[in-house]
Amino acid sequence: QVQLVESGGGLVQAGGSLRLSCAASGRTISSYAMGWFRQAPGKEREFVAGIDWSGTNTYHADSVKGRFTISRDNAKNTVYLQMNSLKPEDTAVYYCAFPLEPYSSGMSARDFGSWGQGTQVTVSS
70-87 pLDDT tens trace: 999 999 999 999 999 999
Rounded average pLDDT over 27-45: 96
Show the 3-state SS of the chain.
CCEEEEECCEEEECCCCEEEEEEEECCCHHHCCEEEEEECCCCCCEEEEEECCCCCCEEECCCCCCCEEEEEEHHHCEEEEEECCCCHHHCEEEEEEEECCCCCCCCCHHHEEEECCCEEEEEEC
Is residue 105 scored above 90 in pLDDT? no
